[in-house]
Amino acid sequence: MDTLLEDALGELFRHVTSGAAPGLEITTDQRKAISNEIYASGFADLLLPQAAGGSGISLSEAIGLLKMEGYYNVPIPFAQTVVTRAWAHAHSVNLPEGTFSYASSALQIDEQTRSATLHKAWHGHWVDHMLIATDQQCLMAHSHERRVLQTYHGGLFAAVAWPAQGLTRLDLDEQATHDLFNFSVLAMLAVTLGAMEKAFELTLAYAAQRQQFGRPVSKFQAVQHQISEMAEHVCAADMALQLAAATDDNALTVPASHQLAIAQFQIAHIADNIADIAHAIHGAIGISQEYPLHHYTRRIRECKSCFGSAQYWAAEIGQQILHKNNDTLLAVLTWTRDEKRTG
């Protein structure tokens, strides 16, 4: 990936999050100011081709940029907005300006109040637009018509309701709806992995700095074992995500479903273990408001199964393998897009 892009986006994220104290809630006005600054930078269009005002990089090259939302604990859905705008360009869908979130959860329709409720909306309490996939259709809800039912302290999800007439049905074919789901899963995985990498860095630094019995705790074999296990999990998750994003040079090519399922299973399966090890090594300071670790471990736990648990994705992988009658298990797991194209 172009390191100029990575350096520039990293500097931008450091700047916009520098005023957010670890123990304080970010206000709606602060979120909006951060959103406007990031949007004005043009990075929301980074997956678009150069002819459309984007950077022209591939999806695989963009993974490092999408991870930065989780790594810097950016309080807006940057990665989801990036992939949504790329998806809209690929399928010629006209979308309004602003930030986007996505949900594939069941939308509850109340006929008496003529309202629709989403109980787990990613950034639902403030994002500009919410795309909701339900019953083989995709709806778009806008911020000015929402009613926030419940938010969670320090959380990134909220329960939100909209008037039924405030939901706009997008005229999409089955392929477009499927592609939006896959892009959204990839974006959430990238954000989760970014938070994992930051939690690992914090843990590594703390273990080297914390003294016990006259030496850093990182010198104790038991702690070294925990750190090595954590490093192994983060590395495996990164490899799985890179394989899922390895489409081709066209950033608008949707990630392969079976590789995406493997990456989602891997990350959902190890997420709690990574968070648990981080807090075990930090001890009590890890859950204090003033120390940043809890922001990252909360994000890891909240996002790990946003689109399904590890058990759900394991079943999906199993079904895909069972439908490959003439292939071995190894062949299915190492399947590439080029093989599908030529096969």
Distance CA 164, CA 166 (A): 5
Q: What is the pLDDT confidence band of residue 283, given thresholds at 50, 70 and 90?
A: very high
Q: Which residue has the higher pLDDT, 8 or 331?
A: 8
Q: Please, which residues have CB within 8 angstroms of residue 178's CB and are 6 or more apart in sequence?
A: 254
**74: its two tokens:** 């950016």
- Please check the confidence at residue 333 and state whether its pLDDT lies above 70: no
Residues 14, 17, 19: CA angle, nearest 5 degrees: 115
Domains annotated on the chain, with CATH? 96-171 (2.40.110), 175-340 (1.20.140.10)
The pLDDT assigned to 328 comes to 67
Burial of residue 232 (number of CB atoms within 10 Å: 0-12, 13-18, 19+): exposed
DSSP 334: T
Distance CA 76, CA 13 (A): 11
Provide the H-helix boundaries in the chain: 3-17, 28-40, 59-66, 68-71, 78-90, 174-209, 221-245, 257-282, 293-303, 310-322, 329-333, 337-342
The predicted-structure confidence for 222-259, as pLDDT tens digits, reads as follows 999 999 999 999 999 999 999 888 876 665 778 888 88
Q: Which of 12-16, 134-138, 156-160, 211-215 has the lowest mean pLDDT?
A: 134-138
The pLDDT assigned to 325 comes to 63
- Please check the confidence at residue 178 and state whether its pLDDT lies above 80: yes
The predicted-structure confidence for 12-69, as pLDDT tens digits, reads as follows 999 988 866 554 567 778 888 899 999 889 999 999 988 888 888 888 889 999 999 9
The pLDDT assigned to 311 comes to 87
The pLDDT assigned to 118 comes to 87
Which is nearest to 196 in space by CA: 169, 224, 162, 233?
Answer: 233
Q: Strand 100-103 relative to strand 108-110: parallel, antiparallel, unpaired?
A: unpaired
Question: Does residue 50 sit in helix, strand or coil?
Answer: helix
